[in-house]
Amino acid sequence: MDWYEQEIADIKQLAKGGHYEEVTARDMDAFRENSKQLEQFLDGDFSSMDDELREQFPNAHRDGMTYSVIPVVPRYAHEMATLYPNGARRLFTPNQNTRRQGATPLTAEQVRKLREVYRSSDIDGVMHKAHRRCTALNMQTLAVFPAGPRKVLVLPVSQHDVQYRAGNPLTVADIATHAIVSVRVPRRSEDGEVWWTEAVFTATEAYFKRGAEQFPIYGDSIKHDFGEVPLMTIRAPGMAPPSGHYFSELPEDILRTQVSVNLADSDLGWGLKFSWPQTFIQPGTEGGITQELVDNMPTGPSISSALPGAGSTATVLNKTAPVDAYKNFIETTIRNFAIMRDMSPDAFSKANAAKNAVSRAFDKVDRQDARNAWKLVFKRAENDLVRLVGWVCSKEGILDLPHEELRVSIEWPEWEVPTDPLHAAQARALDYQSGVDSPVRYVMRRFGVGMTEAMEMVRRNLDETRQFTATGADVSGNMNRAPEQAPPLEVRDERE
């Protein structure tokens, strides 16, 4: 009996007294299917809606009903994942200014090479992808693989592609403490077909599994010296997993909202297909009407046709689809989802010109609160990631780094809710005058640059503005200003 079987036996022994439930089980098949469907929706793949139609409208689906798409999940992720689209500014430590005792400062050359690794590996793009997926699935598991000279591959993996066995059930939320973790990764891709394999990680080994064979992930041996499972986890704010579980719960509200609005829009489209006038012809007592005769009957606004057979009648029926009811259902579903997610429903519509200043202000506060929560999540994640990247670089001989001591300070460009430009500029001007803010600090936040570069940008813009106004041009933006009167033309007599 190994340690795992002994652990199960101990749990069963405790359960015999009737004080503990012996086992609680998730329906992992349904969990993984929902996870996969959410990821597909996020990536723009709505093909699973065909199965939803088959289940909800079997007769219509058999007759050719097709699904419609209102991309709620991608739109929600676009609105919430705002940290990385414009890049991020990182300061790697320990450096010469680090006050942490015992830390070996990084040299300028090490910092330069580490920045090159981050640039060539598109870490900003990877973290943006992880952020988007966390908004739709509440968590991501990240693995770091070597990918060539001064380059690593950071792979975000969703719940349906991860399997694990916990080492300590009390710390199961921390993937680094797991006994074994298996991650599904692509092994081969050819013209739309992908072959998959498993990447297996333990506290001492890491290898690709192909049948009975094992191929090392790092270096020339499946053994590694990281000291724990070399993986990391990013979770959405407040989305800690239930006790004893590694996976956070999936956001069922996002999944149900997306499926519901797609089904409603599909049903509406199918109903509209049959809402046009349809003619029914009933033969008279003498008969004489065949389907072939009806099919070949000429039609048009200036054509009159006689129906053979005494007493024959024609009836025109018109089934009107309940368009307003469907539209109200779709709009209400999206609005309720947005409100429960602390978002303005206008985020799902470009036609938001009627939004007043008060609602914009509250929307900005809600969105900024959400952004601040995500900042805390990704500050921790960036420090976990730099440690993994540093270890992989050292392991592969890409770059020798003290990975255990590596830290990173990160700042993101400022994100602004679209507002009235005039009022936004006036608010900034008041902050500048009161000393709460400065043009340089504003440029640093907005463009994600350092103070020196921001000062240069402000100085250059001011110089260009002065040079331009020296020509007599008006750059005040005052549309009510009366145009300057041109000097009167001198009129000369042609006879002179």
The model's pLDDT over 425-459, given as tens digits with 9 standing for 90+, comes to: 776 777 788 887 888 888 777 776 777 888 888 88
Instruction: Name the residue range of residue 442's domain.
Output: 420-470
What would the mean pLDDT of 217-234 be, rounded to a whole number?
93
More confident residue, 273 or 251: 251
What would the mean pLDDT of 457-464 be, rounded to a whole number?
84
Per-residue pLDDT, 354: 47
Q: Which helix H or strand E contains 330, and what residues bound it? A: helix 323-340
Q: Are residues 66 and 140 in the same domain?
A: yes
Per-residue pLDDT, 70: 93
CA pair distance 357, 335, nearest whole angstrom: 19
Q: Are residues 35 and 94 in the same domain?
A: yes
Per-residue pLDDT, 455: 86
pTM of the model: 0.76
How many CB atoms are located within 10 Å of the residue 50 CB?
Answer: 13
- Reference 408, options 374, 377, 381, 448; nearest CA is 381
Report whether pLDDT(180) > 80. Answer: yes
**DSSP β-ladder status, 313-317 and 278-282:** antiparallel
Q: Residue 95 falls within a domain, yes or no?
A: yes
Per-residue pLDDT, 420: 57
Per-residue pLDDT, 485: 52
What would the mean pLDDT of 347-365 be, rounded to a whole number?
59
pLDDT, tens digit, 9 for 90 and up, residues 188-210: 888 889 999 999 999 999 999 98
Per-residue pLDDT, 408: 93
Q: Are residues 143 and 180 in the same domain?
A: yes
Report whether pLDDT(106) > 60. Answer: yes
Q: Residue 313 falls within a domain, yes or no?
A: no
Per-residue pLDDT, 159: 96
Q: Are residues 427 and 390 in the same domain?
A: no
What would the mean pLDDT of 467-477 be, rounded to a whole number?
70
Q: Residue 334 falls within a domain, yes or no?
A: no
Per-residue pLDDT, 71: 94
More confident residue, 472 or 258: 258
Angle formed at CA 92 by CA 85 and CA 445, multiple of 5 degrees? 40
The last residue of a domain, from among 385, 408, 431: 408
Q: Residue 443 falls within a domain, yes or no?
A: yes
Q: Residue 123 falls within a domain, yes or no?
A: yes
Q: Residue 357 falls within a domain, yes or no?
A: no
Q: Are residues 388 and 457 in the same domain?
A: no
Q: Are residues 100 and 161 in the same domain?
A: yes
Q: Are residues 50 and 81 in the same domain?
A: yes
Per-residue pLDDT, 7: 75
What is the percent of the chain with per-residue pLDDT over 70, rounded to a whole number? 79
Report whether pLDDT(248) > 70. Answer: yes
Per-residue pLDDT, 216: 94
Q: How many domains does the chain have?
A: 2
Q: Are residues 128 and 152 in the same domain?
A: yes
Q: Are residues 205 and 185 in the same domain?
A: yes
Q: Residue 290 falls within a domain, yes or no?
A: no
pLDDT, tens digit, 9 for 90 and up, residues 20-69: 666 778 899 999 999 999 999 999 999 999 999 999 999 999 989 999 99
pLDDT, tens digit, 9 for 90 and up, residues 388-406: 999 999 988 888 888 888 9
Q: Residue 186 falls within a domain, yes or no?
A: yes
Per-residue pLDDT, 166: 92
What would the mean pLDDT of 230-234 be, rounded to a whole number?
96
Contact 414, 445 (CB under 8 A): yes
Q: Are residues 131 and 106 in the same domain?
A: yes
Cβ-in-10-Å burial (0-12, 13-18, 19+) of 496 comes to: exposed
Per-residue pLDDT, 154: 96
* Among the ranges given (261-270, 342-351, 359-368, 483-492), the one the predictor scored with the smallest mean pLDDT: 483-492
Per-residue pLDDT, 433: 80
pLDDT, tens digit, 9 for 90 and up, residues 286-333: 666 777 777 777 777 677 666 666 667 777 666 677 888 999 999 999
CA pair distance 260, 256, nearest whole angstrom: 6
pLDDT, tens digit, 9 for 90 and up, residues 107-163: 889 999 999 999 999 999 999 999 999 999 999 999 999 998 889 999 999 999 999
CA pair distance 166, 169, nearest whole angstrom: 6
Give the three-state DSSP class for 90. Answer: strand
Q: Are residues 433 and 463 in the same domain?
A: yes
